[in-house]
A and B are shown apart, each in its own frame.
Chain A
Amino acid sequence: MNYLPNILFAIALVFGIGYFVRNVRKLIRNIKLGQDVDVSDNKSQRFKNMVNIALGQSKMVRRPIAGFLHVIVYVGFIIINIEVLEIIIDGLFNTHRFFSGIGDLYGVLIGSFEILAILVLVAVIVFWARRNVIKIKRFWNSEMTSWPKNDANYILYFEMVLMSLFLIMNATDASFQAMDSGNLISQYIAPWFSGMAESTLHLIERTAWWVHILGILVFLNYLYFSKHLHILLAFPNTYYASTKPKGQLDNLASVTKEVMLMMDPNADPFAVPDEDNDETLEKFGVSDVTDLNWTQLLSAYTCTECGRCTSSCPANLTGKKLSPRKIMMDTRDRLEEVGKNIDANKGEFKNDGKQLLGDYITKEELWACTTCNACVEECPVSISPLSIIMDMRRYLVMEESAAPVELNNMMTNIENNGAPWPYNQMDRLNWKDE
């Protein structure tokens, strides 16, 4: 008996999964470069959010066309993967259609896979057309050139090819067609190959089978380098996303400590800071990715660059440079850069003179935000670009005193008069008699 195909298959499987695991480890390492944050609260609400938003796609369908097509691809992706289990068993143990022994149910399963496959194929072609023919605006913003644009199309090509291979594999499988159960779609494809010799047919079937499973392994490993990671990370991201009202911005604890000290009449202003407990070097706000908390870094990897945020951002809609999607893409790009730096320097980050603020995200973008939460509301996987924008504004103001002049005036007014305008606090009730 010839074991060569099985050995080759096992090797491909080990390499495919092994390389993926290696990259997932790197992914986790990079995410952990973020600051710690307490996400242990509201467990049941978090779980509900994950079930509704990630599993249930509740926010996807708010835009019905894209949402409906996405649900097809999503359901297809998950269900067709049951077939991959059979492929792996067949590949390893030299069986052919291992599950076909289960009888009628097998036909029902494969039949539904075939229907899903053709639906996914159609949906993916529509997706491709929306990007490349209809040219929907949010896919053509300035950050969507080169790699981000190609990445999106590669994913669609991958899916088109994988679905086609699955159907061709079934269509050219003579014994499967002879069973005439479950070949709902492939029976219409089979006639295309009708004139061929049995050996040719078998060769096509085997080729389709091999390219299909190898394609899946390649696609799996493509994820880490692509925006497509959302198929995995949407789940943890919706779980760890904020459960607070969207308007609630966290109060920086480090600032609270200082403010309470200032307000404390018993505090000694000349006290020497406690050497053992010296946290005075703490940085206020965020200038680089490692200042962000790990859930923000997770969401940067989760972002699939759909652009719903940007297409609802008032600043972006009125021609400003700010694009919430770009905030997430920049965060991920910089994090990848930091990760590669660590890899290249034996686990230690070597200062590269760069940072997220300035080298990736400009002040002009940050100051254009109205904090309206439209981006947060829109994101189908609960990402908050706003939280990153706010953290970077904090750095600009508290570490660099680099607010626009008008804002400095506003803040001086609040400090001196308790109002953003230069009016006397004693006049605060004058309106009642005017």
Chain B
Amino acid sequence: MKLTVPTMAQYMAEGKQPEILFWVGSAGSYDDRAKKITKAFVKLLNAANIDFAVLGTEESCTGDAAKRAGNEFLFQMQAVTNIEILNAYEIKKIVTACPHSFNTLKNEYPSLGGNYQVFHHTQYLQQLIKEGRLKITNKSFKGKRITFHDPCYLGRANDVYEAPRELLKELGIDVVEMKRHKRTALCCGAGGAQMFKEPEKGDKDVNVLRTEDALQTNPDIIATGCPYCNTMMTDGVKFKEKEAEIEVLDIAELLAQSSNL
């Protein structure tokens, strides 16, 4: 299926404004696993006929990882550059499939001059379903055991716990919760720039501990809503040699798959 992915520059050339900007993020743009999530989300947007655009080559890292690594200069340089572009295009609404971008755009850009309505893709998809613009009829995941790993930057950081669970409910899935879930959910180990460095000395990797949490629910699928969590949990499942039985999927992928997109 051919994806329709217009850029802001194209919209601008036609003198039009999209309904929403899809912020792809660095992982969603370059990471092979995350690109699949990006595409799944675009398929859903296309299926719902949403007037959206991406910045394409004009998009740059939000600066989250730099900020959390302590480099406030680099973060603010990134933020100010991005805000300049977003404001030039008069962006009002942004959706992103990355909780880190979500948190940064929503909470840390306003005081630097970037004020937008920002949604995580699970919130946006839930809204589309509620408005009847996206229809989920196929319940092919019914009967599967699915657990949901809360991304820290969606859950604790921004108190979004229900949107992803509501979407899973739409798919006819009863989430099997891990012992630590929602506000007590354990981190996957990638946040705070940990994704880009070796962990400090310890007796275990965080993603392995979190995968053990998930394995206790005896799942067929571990669902999540963050490209970094996805990588960490996928690695954890491989470490536990369970990759033949357990899939790690983004909520957008579950929705797209169930609709055979």
Q: How far is the CA of A395 from the CA of B72 in the complex (A)?
A: 10
Q: How far is the CA of A260 from the CA of B5 in the complex (A)?
A: 33
Q: How far is the CB of A63 from chain B (nearest CB, A)?
A: 10
Chain A: CB-nearest residue to B36: A431
- With A249-B68, A397-B70 known as contacts, the answer to whether A428 contacts B63 (CB < 8 A) is no
Chain B residues with Cβ below 8 Å from A260 are 80
User: Are B61 and A315 closer than 8 Å at their CB atoms?
Assistant: no
Q: How far is the CA of A249 from the CA of B184 in the complex (A)?
A: 20
Of A247, A318, A407, A429, which one neighbours B153 at CB under 8 angstroms? A247
User: Are A414 and B72 closer than 8 Å at their CB atoms?
Assistant: no
Q: Which positions 225-268 of chain A face chain B at CB distance < 8 Å?
A: 244-249, 251-252, 255-256, 258-260, 262-263
- Write the B55-77 contact mask toward A (1 if CB under 8 angstroms, else 0): 01101110101111111111111
Stretch at the interface among B124-132, B194-202, B248-256: B194-202
Chain A: CB-nearest residue to B54: A429
- With A248-B103, A314-B209, A317-B186 known as contacts, the answer to whether A371 contacts B192 (CB < 8 A) is yes
Q: How far is the CB of A419 from chain B (nearest CB, A)?
A: 4
Stretch at the interface among A66-74, A162-170, A182-190, A361-369: A361-369
Q: How far is the CB of A407 from chain B (nearest CB, A)?
A: 5
Q: Which positions 406-434 of chain A face chain B at CB distance < 8 Å?
A: 406-407, 409-411, 414-415, 418-421, 423, 425-432, 434
In this assembly, does B183 line the interface, its C-beta being within 8 Å of a C-beta of chain A?
A: yes
Q: How far is the CB of B261 from chain A (nearest CB, A)?
A: 15
User: Are A414 and B68 closer than 8 Å at their CB atoms?
Assistant: no
Q: How far is the CA of A418 from the CA of B152 in the complex (A)?
A: 24
Chain B residues with Cβ below 8 Å from A314 are 186-187, 189, 206, 209-210
In this assembly, does B174 line the interface, its C-beta being within 8 Å of a C-beta of chain A?
A: no
User: Are B197 and A406 closer than 8 Å at their CB atoms?
Assistant: yes
Q: How far is the CA of A151 from the CA of B69 in the complex (A)?
A: 36
Number of interface residues of B (CB under 8 A): 75
Q: How far is the CA of A397 from the CA of B75 in the complex (A)?
A: 12
User: Are A320 and B200 closer than 8 Å at their CB atoms?
Assistant: yes
User: Are B107 and A414 closer than 8 Å at their CB atoms?
Assistant: no
Stretch at the interface among B135-143, B154-162, B163-171, B237-245: B154-162
User: Are B69 and A429 closer than 8 Å at their CB atoms?
Assistant: no
Chain A residues with Cβ below 8 Å from B209 are 314, 317-318
Q: How far is the CA of A431 from the CA of B152 in the complex (A)?
A: 26
In this assembly, does A285 line the interface, its C-beta being within 8 Å of a C-beta of chain B?
A: yes
User: Are A403 and B70 closer than 8 Å at their CB atoms?
Assistant: yes
User: Are A418 and B191 closer than 8 Å at their CB atoms?
Assistant: no
User: Are A420 and B80 closer than 8 Å at their CB atoms?
Assistant: no
In this assembly, does B29 line the interface, its C-beta being within 8 Å of a C-beta of chain A?
A: yes
In this assembly, does A57 line the interface, its C-beta being within 8 Å of a C-beta of chain B?
A: no
Chain A residues with Cβ below 8 Å from B177 are none
Q: How far is the CB of A269 from chain B (nearest CB, A)?
A: 16
Q: How far is the CA of A175 from the CA of B71 in the complex (A)?
A: 72
In this assembly, does B1 line the interface, its C-beta being within 8 Å of a C-beta of chain A?
A: no
Q: Which positions 25-39 of chain B face chain A at CB distance < 8 Å?
A: 26, 28-31, 35, 38-39
User: Are A428 and B68 closer than 8 Å at their CB atoms?
Assistant: no
- With A256-B112, A421-B26, A429-B5 known as contacts, the answer to whether A319 contacts B204 (CB < 8 A) is yes
Q: Which positions 243-300 of chain A face chain B at CB distance < 8 Å?
A: 244-249, 251-252, 255-256, 258-260, 262-263, 284-285
Q: How far is the CA of A411 from the CA of B61 in the complex (A)?
A: 11
Stretch at the interface among A92-100, A152-160, A199-207, A372-380: A372-380
Chain A: CB-nearest residue to B198: A406
Q: How far is the CB of A126 from chain B (nearest CB, A)?
A: 23
Of B61, B189, B199, which one neighbours A414 at CB under 8 angstroms? B61
Q: How far is the CA of A315 from the CA of B81 in the complex (A)?
A: 33
User: Are B192 and A369 closer than 8 Å at their CB atoms?
Assistant: yes
Q: Which positions 181-229 of chain B face chain A at CB distance < 8 Å?
A: 183-184, 186-187, 189-206, 208-210
User: Are B198 and A418 closer than 8 Å at their CB atoms?
Assistant: no
Q: How far is the CB of A172 from chain B (nearest CB, A)?
A: 48
Chain B residues with Cβ below 8 Å from A262 are 77
Q: How far is the CB of B146 from chain A (nearest CB, A)?
A: 23
Q: How far is the CA of A393 from the CA of B159 in the complex (A)?
A: 25
In this assembly, does B3 line the interface, its C-beta being within 8 Å of a C-beta of chain A?
A: yes
Q: How far is the CA of A428 from the CA of B56 in the complex (A)?
A: 6
Chain A residues with Cβ below 8 Å from B115 are none
Of B65, B74, B107, which one neighbours A245 at CB under 8 angstroms? B107
Q: How far is the CB of B21 from chain A (nearest CB, A)?
A: 14
Chain A: CB-nearest residue to B112: A251
Chain A: CB-nearest residue to B79: A251
Q: How far is the CA of A262 from the CA of B183 in the complex (A)?
A: 40
Q: How far is the CB of A248 from chain B (nearest CB, A)?
A: 4
Q: How far is the CB of B201 from chain A (nearest CB, A)?
A: 7
Chain A residues with Cβ below 8 Å from B38 are 431
In this assembly, does A398 line the interface, its C-beta being within 8 Å of a C-beta of chain B?
A: yes
User: Are B72 and A251 closer than 8 Å at their CB atoms?
Assistant: yes
User: Are A371 and B74 closer than 8 Å at their CB atoms?
Assistant: no
8 contacts between A and B (CB under 8 A): A251-B108, A315-B206, A368-B202, A411-B66, A415-B74, A419-B30, A420-B195, A431-B28
The 7 closest A-B pairs by CB, nearest first: A247-B157, A371-B192, A393-B70, A319-B203, A418-B60, A372-B187, A319-B202
